[in-house]
Amino acid sequence: MRISPLFEIKHKDKNSKARVGILYTKKGSIETPFFMPVATKASVKHISSKDLESIGVNAIISNTFVLHAKPGEKLIKKMNGLGNFMNFKGINVTDSGGFQMYSDRCYIGSTEEEVIFRNPFTGEKMCISPERDMQIQLDLDSDIAMCLDSMPLLHHTKDEIAEAVRKTSLWAERCRIYHNNAQKRIPLKKRQLLFGIMQGGIYEDLREKSAREIVKIGFDGYAMGGLALGESKEEEYRAIIAQKKIVPEDSPVYLMGAGHPVEVLEAISLGVDMFDSRFPTQNARRGTLFTSQGRIKIFNNKYERDSKPIDPECDCFVCKNYTRAYIRYQLAQEEGVGFRLSSYHNIYYMTRLMEQTRAAIKNKTFLKFKKRVARIYEKSDQDSKNNFKKFNISRKKKL
Amino acid sequence: MRISPLFEIKHKDKNSKARVGILYTKKGSIETPFFMPVATKASVKHISSKDLESIGVNAIISNTFVLHAKPGEKLIKKMNGLGNFMNFKGINVTDSGGFQMYSDRCYIGSTEEEVIFRNPFTGEKMCISPERDMQIQLDLDSDIAMCLDSMPLLHHTKDEIAEAVRKTSLWAERCRIYHNNAQKRIPLKKRQLLFGIMQGGIYEDLREKSAREIVKIGFDGYAMGGLALGESKEEEYRAIIAQKKIVPEDSPVYLMGAGHPVEVLEAISLGVDMFDSRFPTQNARRGTLFTSQGRIKIFNNKYERDSKPIDPECDCFVCKNYTRAYIRYQLAQEEGVGFRLSSYHNIYYMTRLMEQTRAAIKNKTFLKFKKRVARIYEKSDQDSKNNFKKFNISRKKKL
């Protein structure tokens, strides 16, 4: 059921599992590894699709469940699909929405058949089955769809996570069957891709079991779910290694929810090809900005009268036109301009970081590059007396 | 004390008092009549100074009192003035902030000497005298400063308004003296301009009295304050006529706070040269959009699946790239992208309307042009069953 070729590996790093590849979708191809900003409600917060184009973002991820609740997939289908609706020329990925359904705010329960939860907009009870989730994503007409998984949280017991792994495999199979049938008559090159999601928490044996079951069903790509949720970096990396060794070498691998520059580079060295996270945009809105010198917390008093750009070495339109003092003031006042300028810069930073990563893999300097970035972040985090490993997100102070 | 020439009238309409002129400031010249978007906290809400440049906005107005409270004029002075702080290449006007100090939320009282009010950020008691207000505006280094006036509200009695007129004149004189002394040693062409503000509520005799007193003191331009506050259009226009006939023909006239397209065109026909208002941006955020066919309320159900741009005749980047359905959804979700796209369009609309107005005055077709615009708005307002005269701002509905 594969588009052929679906994924081509072009360069392999000799000293790690890092690789540069090309992923082909119905909307066009994209070089891996890449990072996707999050566009939950068909927009990246404060960043228009024209901004994304000017930054050079080639893929974003939206949320099936949120778009189903409002404005509804029928409306988006009528507007010729998600890409046309938001006028984004790159690749649209949709997450199944499992993450939201399983949140404390929404989750009611889940049967063998489907997830039962509350519509966060209306409070109304809703049920979504794997088949229904597939149909919604087909209607949204995204370029890559994700299976509906059963998503355990970090605090769940090993037994609960094992049960989630079981249900995830069961539902993955139903997703695969429905999705195949629905696209039977569509030419291969025009088909939406479908990625399986692997679970297993921090338990390597469950991670392996889940990977084996999902790979056995067979998907266009494989995502690692239920990570980047607060487990330690060591636990996260061990889980990645456990599943990566089971996924076929020529399949794209996607680590869901990871967005810290160092975490992303580590995962790339373990063979991951795709990332998404609200980390860069959420941090931006809270005043944490990524630079060539590591991260800076703009609400620190030393930036109050700083007439330098966020990053003197960055050539984005924000750094060419605005000072730290101005962005700090706009953010402190919660002005839309502050949110936009800081978000633009952080997405630009991540997009350039991925470009540099691909170049480093091609130039055989990847591990050196990764080490340099890690050292810079460690230093900037020590400087601001934060514990890097905890991934603290700075709280916005009212100035 | 005038920069020479300060204001040159280039074209006069034969059938009304409309005129096209050039106003010279230390930052450069600008063609009148023009409309200023409101940038209270050194940014137009959701619109960066680069956006303003791309729209062709040549002047904006910020708020002295708000900028004094945060980030403080000393910081902005250190950043080389307001224009450099926000990187706006056009003309920066600062309002004295009287309007905010006199708001119910802030106002405590006012003596012969100064206004006493609460800092809206800290709750702390503050006093601002005319002299202090001038010094803050000089520190902000705006291109046009406004006198501190005593601002009556619509519900005040005629006696209270007469007292406000008296105090406004007294303070205008103190502003004039302080401002002159402070700039004595600065070459004429590098001086900040100072505009007087005329009050008088809806009473023509008080309007005339205030105009005579303010004109007698002598300013670089004359502003009409305390209008566009909810009085009827007839009352507003009568007040304008009463003061316009007293202001010297060769002085720029500024109607503060007016921003409805038809109201602006009417005021231009009465001889007004400058406008500012949050009307276009506030309406945009609430889903009321200005078009060549009048205003549309995007939350109307008929736009839910409308794949047309906001205005098919508009060539702004929003209309070239986004549909009504998309902007409606983004606004309904209170997404920053919705606020930005709708605000961008409405400011673009007002900027083009002013361009067309100047062209119509030059081409001797102004009254025809004004009539056509008024007819379009009357029709669109009837269509949406709203009473135009009440200037209802549509309330955002959660969709």
Which residue in B23, B24, B10, B22 sits closest to B361, CA to CA? B10
Q: What is the DSSP letter of A223?
A: E
Q: What span, in angstroms and rounded, lies between the C-alpha atoms of A336 and A358?
A: 33
Q: What's the rounded mean pLDDT across residues A295-314?
A: 97
**Cβ of B307 under 8 Å from any chain A Cβ?**
yes
Taking an 8 Å cut-off on Cβ atoms, the answer to whether A326 and B42 are in contact is yes
B301 membership: H or E segment, kind and range: none
CA distances from A301 to A376, B43, B87 (A): 21, 21, 22
Query: Which residues, at least 6 apart from B140, have a Cβ–Cβ distance to it below 8 Å?
Result: B62, B64, B67, B73, B76, B77, B81, B82, B92, B94
- Determine if the peptide bond prior to A71 is cis (ω within 30°): yes
Report whether pLDDT(B363) > 60: yes
Residue to substitute from A326, A343, A397, interface B, most B β-carbons within 10 A: A326
Report whether pLDDT(B398) > 60: no
A25: its two tokens: 């979708």
Q: What pLDDT digit, counting tens, does each position of B201-240 carry?
A: 999 999 999 999 999 999 999 999 999 998 999 999 999 9
Active site residues of A: 95, 276
pLDDT band at B385 (very low <50, low <70, confident <90, very high): low
Q: What span, in angstroms and rounded, lies between the C-alpha atoms of B335 and B201?
A: 39
- Residues of chain A with Cβ-Cβ distance to B86 below 8 Å are 326
pLDDT at B4: 60
Q: What integer best gives the mean pLDDT of chain B?
A: 93
pLDDT at A355: 98
Report whether pLDDT(B387) > 80: no
Query: Which residues, at least 6 apart from A190, have a Cβ–Cβ distance to it below 8 Å?
Result: A26
Q: What span, in angstroms and rounded, lies between the C-alpha atoms of B337 and A212?
A: 42
A288: its two tokens: 């944490």
Q: What span, in angstroms and rounded, lies between the C-alpha atoms of A108 and A110?
A: 7
Q: Which alpha helices (DSSP H) does A70-193 contain, by range?
A: 73-78, 81-85, 98-101, 130-140, 158-182
Q: What's the rounded mean pLDDT across residues A174-191?
A: 97
Q: Name the closest residue on chain B to residue A398, using Cα atoms.
A: B121
**Cβ of B304 under 8 Å from any chain A Cβ?**
yes
The residue with tokens 């050194």 is B42
CA distances from A48 to A141, A344, B178, B291, B342 (A): 20, 10, 47, 21, 12
Q: Name the closest residue on chain B to residue A80, using Cα atoms.
A: B307
Q: Which alpha helices (DSSP H) does A291-363 contain, by range?
A: 317-321, 324-332, 336-362
Beta strand B91-95 with B294-297 is unpaired
Q: What span, in angstroms and rounded, lies between the C-alpha atoms of A216 and A197?
A: 12
- Residues of chain B with Cβ-Cβ distance to A305 below 8 Å are 75, 78-79
Indicate which residue of B139, B149, B220, B276 is catalytic.
Answer: B276
Q: Name the closest residue on chain B to residue A341, using Cα atoms.
A: B48
Taking an 8 Å cut-off on Cβ atoms, the answer to whether A321 and B87 are in contact is yes
Q: What span, in angstroms and rounded, lies between the C-alpha atoms of B388 and B375?
A: 11
- Domains in chain A with CATH codes: 7-277 (3.20.20.105), 285-390 (no CATH)
- Residues of chain B with Cβ-Cβ distance to A320 below 8 Å are none
- Residues of chain A with Cβ-Cβ distance to B44 below 8 Å are 337
Q: Bridge-partner residues for A107, per DSSP?
A: A117
Tell me how close the Cα of A317 comes to any Cα of chain B, in angstroms. 9
Among the partner residues A321, A330, A399, nearest to B43 by beta-carbon distance:
A330
Which residue in B233, B226, B298, B229 sits closest to B264, CA to CA? B233
pLDDT band at B5 (very low <50, low <70, confident <90, very high): confident
Q: What's the rounded mean pLDDT across residues A230-249?
A: 97
Taking an 8 Å cut-off on Cβ atoms, the answer to whether A336 and B336 are in contact is yes
Q: What span, in angstroms and rounded, lies between the C-alpha atoms of B51 and B37?
A: 12
- Residues of chain B with Cβ-Cβ distance to A285 below 8 Å are none
The predicted complex's ipTM stands at: 0.94
Handedness of CA A96, A102, A104, A110 (dihedral sign): positive
Residue to substitute from A43, A60, A78, interface B, most B β-carbons within 10 A: A43
pLDDT band at B155 (very low <50, low <70, confident <90, very high): confident
- Residues of chain B with Cβ-Cβ distance to A43 below 8 Å are 330, 335-338
Q: What span, in angstroms and rounded, lies between the C-alpha atoms of B115 and B1?
A: 27
pLDDT, greater one: B103 or B141 = B141
Report whether pLDDT(A122) > 90: no
Among the partner residues A45, A307, A333, nearest to B335 by beta-carbon distance:
A45
Beta strand A288-291 with A294-297 is antiparallel
- Count of A–B CB contacts within 8 Å? 114
Report whether pLDDT(B2) > 60: no
Indicate which residue of B13, B51, B95, B133 is catalytic.
Answer: B95
Is the distance from CB of B25 to CB of B40 less than 8 angstroms?
A: no
Taking an 8 Å cut-off on Cβ atoms, the answer to whether A86 and B339 are in contact is no
**Cβ of A334 under 8 Å from any chain B Cβ?**
no
pLDDT band at A103 (very low <50, low <70, confident <90, very high): confident
Q: What's the rounded mean pLDDT across residues A344-348?
A: 98
A251 membership: H or E segment, kind and range: none
Q: What span, in angstroms and rounded, lies between the C-alpha atoms of B346 and A63?
A: 30
Q: What pLDDT digit, counting tens, does each position of A191-234 carry?
A: 999 999 999 999 999 999 999 999 999 999 999 999 999 899 99
- Residues of chain B with Cβ-Cβ distance to A85 below 8 Å are 323, 325-326
Question: Would you list the DSSP string of B74-124?
Answer: HHHHHTTHHHHHTT--SEEEEE-SHHHHTSTTTEEEE-SS-EEEE-TTT--
Taking an 8 Å cut-off on Cβ atoms, the answer to whether A325 and B79 are in contact is yes
pTM of the model: 0.94
Q: What span, in angstroms and rounded, lies between the C-alpha atoms of A279 and A260?
A: 7
Which residue in A257, A300, A299 sits closest to A280, CA to CA? A257
Report whether pLDDT(A266) > 90: yes
pLDDT band at A384 (very low <50, low <70, confident <90, very high): low
**Cβ of A215 under 8 Å from any chain B Cβ?**
no
Report whether pLDDT(B392) > 70: no
Q: Is A209 helix (H, G, I), strand (E, B) or coil?
A: helix
Q: What integer best gives the mean pLDDT of chain A?
A: 93
CA distances from A289 to A222, B137, B341 (A): 31, 32, 25
- Give the whole-number percent of chain B exceeding pLDDT 70: 95
pLDDT, greater one: A80 or B110 = A80
Report whether pLDDT(B376) > 70: yes
Side chain identity at A82, as an amino acid letter?
L
A79: its two tokens: 């507007």
pLDDT at A385: 54
Among the partner residues B43, B71, B330, nearest to A337 by beta-carbon distance:
B43
Is the distance from CB of A170 to CB of A115 less than 8 angstroms?
A: no
Q: What span, in angstroms and rounded, lies between the C-alpha atoms of A174 and A378?
A: 44
Phi, psi (5° rounding) for residue A370? -60, -45
For B127-150, b/e burial (b = at least 16 CB within 10 A) is ebbbbbbbbbbbbbbbbbbbbbbb
CA distances from A41 to A58, A124, B226 (A): 18, 19, 42
Q: Name the closest residue on chain A to residue B333, using Cα atoms.
A: A41
Distance in angstroms between the alpha carbons of the first and the last residue of chain B: 56
CA distances from B363 to B12, B19, B21, B29, B357 (A): 10, 12, 14, 22, 10
**Cβ of B325 under 8 Å from any chain A Cβ?**
yes
Among the partner residues A43, A332, A338, nearest to B335 by beta-carbon distance:
A43
**B95 in active site:** yes
Report whether pLDDT(A1) > 50: no
Taking an 8 Å cut-off on Cβ atoms, the answer to whether B336 and A46 are in contact is yes
Is the distance from CB of B94 to CB of B145 less than 8 angstroms?
A: yes
**B306 in active site:** no
For B263-302, b/e burial (b = at least 16 CB within 10 A) is bbbbbbbbbbbbbbbbbbbbbbbbbbbbbeebbbbbbeee
pLDDT at A147: 98
**Cβ of B42 under 8 Å from any chain A Cβ?**
yes
Tell me how close the Cα of A198 comes to any Cα of chain B, in angstroms. 32
pLDDT at B177: 98
Q: What is the DSSP letter of B358?
A: H
Tell me how close the Cα of B334 comes to any Cα of chain A, in angstroms. 10
Q: What pLDDT digit, counting tens, does each position of B8-48 carry?
A: 999 999 999 999 999 999 999 999 999 999 999 999 999 99
pLDDT band at A396 (very low <50, low <70, confident <90, very high): very low
Is the distance from CB of A104 to CB of A154 less than 8 angstroms?
A: no
